[in-house]
């Protein structure tokens, strides 16, 4: 066979040129000196600190400046004053996880009118209040999986309660709605949801609420806590209670906060996604929006650095991926 070296060389040349120009276009695509602020539900929650780390990493990779600002409590209107300050500072984008979507809406609209791109992450503010929502996983899937896990843990039988975050948190309320829907299936006919309690993503309040649930419902077999603050407080309470081993706690927690409770047998299994990846993805979305590369419309695609390419779904939603289930066999593989 005759090898045509000229052809190989020129093909390689074209390929190299294409790669170089693609990289150049990509670099030009991002606005210079981006300013991106992350406003979590509360700043002193390890989950949000990890998410903020992901935001910082991505904004750095985009050549911009990031900061995390927010309240120390997850109260309904405690995020408002921060939005007002960010408007005055003319940030290019705000990434927000809402404690109460209704309380934030007018202020986020004001920010958008002033040219700031709004990306909701973790807990949505509703379509009117943002260009995109970066969801950790499919909300229906998260809700259904929590009930499936609880059913497995208590053998499909008995009373259980939910220990949620704040009463107005969009994410927890959406998940609870799907949990209730899952419970309608015939295979759960012997399981009964007796109460939804709210620990407000406050460690002490969640601890006291756990104690209250165990006292009020002596036949309680389980607690689902779909919040990293709630599940770790509930596990801490249970770990020294005579009900340890008799009541199953599951929900959404960070492996680092839950490790000791898995190891000492208080908790058998729980779930979460990587909060750092969530922040990283949200920051890339914010950077691409602020650079005018996307608008948040369904079907648009964008690249999110090391996480690769994402397509915007219905109502501006982008899903990070499927959650992980942690137990004693895999928990040590995770460090967040
Ligand atoms: C808490 C917050 C957050 C939620 C996680 C699972 O840290 O309520 O919004 O996504 O738990």
Question: For the residues 53-82, what does the mean pLDDT come to?
Answer: 97
In this structure, the dihedral spanned by the alpha carbons of residues 274, 275, 281 and 283, taken in order and rounded to 10 degrees, is -160
**Joined tokens for residue 84:** 């007002």
Of 191, 181, 183, 182, the closest CA to residue 155 belongs to 191
Substitution candidate for ligand 1 out of 202, 229, 271 with most atoms within 8 A of CB: 229
Where in the sequence is the domain holding 191, given as residue range(s)? 139-272
Residues 188, 266: one domain? yes
Asked whether the beta carbons of 126 and 169 are under 8 A apart, the reply is no
Where are the alpha helices (H) located in 62-96, listed in sequence order? 80-88
Substitution candidate for ligand 1 out of 100, 201, 256 with most atoms within 8 A of CB: 201
Cα of 208 vs its chain's centroid, Å? 25
Residues 125, 148: one domain? no
What's 284's domain CATH number?
3.40.50.2300
**Joined tokens for residue 269:** 């299994």
User: Is 14 part of any domain?
Assistant: no
Q: Is the pLDDT of residue 199 over 50?
A: yes
Using pLDDT thresholds of 50, 70 and 90, give the confidence band for residue 22: very low
User: Is 164 part of any domain?
Assistant: yes
Other CB atoms within a 10 A radius of the CB of residue 146 amount to: 25
Total tally of structural domains belonging to the chain: 2
* CA separation for the pair 186, 171 (Å, rounded): 26
The full length of the chain comes to 336
User: Is 12 part of any domain?
Assistant: no
Residues 157, 77: one domain? no
Asked whether the beta carbons of 58 and 287 are under 8 A apart, the reply is yes
- Identify the residue whose C-alpha is closest to ligand 1 atom 7: 228
Substitution candidate for ligand 1 out of 43, 139, 227 with most atoms within 8 A of CB: 227
Read off φ and ψ for residue 92, nearest 5 degrees.
Answer: -70, -35
The residue with greater pLDDT, 55 or 13, is 55
User: Is 13 part of any domain?
Assistant: no
Residues 116, 39: one domain? yes
Return the minimum-mean-pLDDT range out of 9-13, 76-80, 201-205, 317-321: 9-13
- For ligand 1, the distance from its centroid to the CA atom of residue 14, given in whole angstroms, is 48
Residues 151, 264: one domain? yes
Q: Is the pLDDT of residue 8 over 50?
A: no
**Three-point CA angle 249, 253, 256, nearest 5°:** 115
Supply the pLDDT for residue 13: 52
Asked whether the beta carbons of 73 and 43 are under 8 A apart, the reply is no
Residues 242, 258: one domain? yes
Closest ligand 1 atom to the C-alpha of 272?
Answer: 6
Q: Is the pLDDT of residue 9 over 70?
A: no
**Joined tokens for residue 6:** 């000229």
Using pLDDT thresholds of 50, 70 and 90, give the confidence band for residue 3: very low
Residues 153, 268: one domain? yes
* CA separation for the pair 48, 303 (Å, rounded): 23
Question: For the residues 101-125, what does the mean pLDDT come to?
Answer: 97
Supply the pLDDT for residue 76: 87
Of 95, 104, 170, the closest CA to residue 139 belongs to 170
Residues 192, 240: one domain? yes
Q: Is the pLDDT of residue 6 over 60?
A: no
Residues 243, 145: one domain? yes
Supply the pLDDT for residue 289: 98
* CA separation for the pair 178, 196 (Å, rounded): 14
* CA separation for the pair 198, 3 (Å, rounded): 73
User: Is 133 part of any domain?
Assistant: yes
- Identify the residue whose C-alpha is closest to ligand 1 atom 8: 227
Return the minimum-mean-pLDDT range out of 1-15, 42-56, 67-81, 251-265: 1-15
Residue at token pair 């052809």: 7
Residues 92, 185: one domain? no
Of 237, 260, 232, the closest CA to residue 247 belongs to 237
User: Is 20 part of any domain?
Assistant: no
Closest ligand 1 atom to the C-alpha of 136?
Answer: 10
Supply the pLDDT for residue 14: 52
| Helix, strand or coil, per DSSP, at residue 139 | helix
Asked whether the beta carbons of 79 and 98 are under 8 A apart, the reply is yes
* CA separation for the pair 247, 222 (Å, rounded): 5
**Joined tokens for residue 31:** 């606005």
Using pLDDT thresholds of 50, 70 and 90, give the confidence band for residue 26: very low
Q: Is the pLDDT of residue 2 over 70?
A: no
Supply the pLDDT for residue 57: 98
Question: For the residues 173-198, what does the mean pLDDT come to?
Answer: 98
User: Is 112 part of any domain?
Assistant: yes
- For ligand 1, the distance from its centroid to the CA atom of residue 184, given in whole angstroms, is 25
User: Is 160 part of any domain?
Assistant: yes
Interhelix angle 228-239/46-61, rounded to 10 degrees, is: 140
The per-residue pLDDT for range 289-317, each reduced to its tens digit, is 999 999 999 999 999 999 999 999 999 99
Residues 165, 208: one domain? yes
Residues 171, 195: one domain? yes
Strand partners, 120: 96, 133
Q: Give Cβ neighbours of residue 239 (< 8 Å, ≥ 6 apart).
A: 260, 261, 264, 266
The per-residue pLDDT for range 156-179, each reduced to its tens digit, is 999 999 999 999 999 999 999 999
- For ligand 1, the distance from its centroid to the CA atom of residue 141, given in whole angstroms, is 16
**Three-point CA angle 166, 176, 215, nearest 5°:** 70
- Ligand 1 binding site (Cβ under 6 Å of any ligand atom): 41, 45, 47, 97, 122-123, 165, 171, 201, 227-229, 252
The whole-chain average pLDDT of the chain stands at 93
């Amino acid at each position: 066979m005759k090898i045509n070296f000229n052809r190989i060389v020129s093909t390689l040349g074209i390929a190299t040129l294409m790669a170089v120009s693609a990289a150049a276009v990509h670099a030009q695509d991002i606005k210079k000196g981006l300013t991106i602020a992350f406003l979590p539900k509360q700043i002193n929650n390890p989950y949000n600190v990890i998410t903020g780390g992901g935001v910082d990493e991505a904004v750095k990779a985009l050549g911009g400046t990031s900061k995390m600002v927010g309240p120390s409590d997850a109260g309904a209107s405690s995020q408002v004053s921060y939005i007002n300050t960010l408007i005055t500072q003319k940030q290019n984008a705000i990434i927000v996880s809402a404690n109460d979507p209704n309380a934030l809406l007018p202020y986020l609209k004001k920010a958008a009118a002033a040219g700031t791109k709004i990306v909701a992450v973790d807990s949505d503010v509703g379509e009117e209040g943002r260009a995109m929502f970066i969801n950790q996983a499919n909300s229906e899937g998260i809700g259904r999986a929590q009930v499936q896990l609880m059913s497995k843990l208590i053998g499909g039988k008995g009373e259980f309660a939910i220990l949620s975050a704040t009463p107005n948190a969009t994410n927890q309320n959406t998940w609870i709605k799907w949990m209730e829907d899952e419970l309608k299936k015939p295979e759960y006919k012997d399981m009964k949801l007796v109460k939804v309690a709210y620990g407000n993503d406050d460690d002490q309040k969640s601890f006291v609420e756990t104690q209250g649930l165990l006292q009020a419902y002596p036949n309680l077999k389980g607690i689902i806590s779909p919040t990293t603050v709630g599940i770790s407080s509930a596990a801490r309470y249970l770990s020294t209670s005579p009900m340890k081993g008799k009541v199953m706690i599951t929900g959404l927690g960070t492996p680092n906060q839950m490790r000791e409770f898995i190891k000492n047998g208080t908790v058998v299994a729980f779930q979460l996604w990587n909060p750092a990846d969530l922040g990283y993805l949200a920051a890339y979305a914010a950077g691409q929006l602020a650079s005018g590369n996307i608008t948040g419309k369904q079907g648009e695609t964008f690249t999110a650095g090391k996480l690769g390419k994402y397509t915007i779904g219905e109502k501006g939603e982008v899903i990070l991926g499927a959650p992980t289930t942690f137990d004693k066999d895999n928990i040590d593989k995770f460090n967040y």
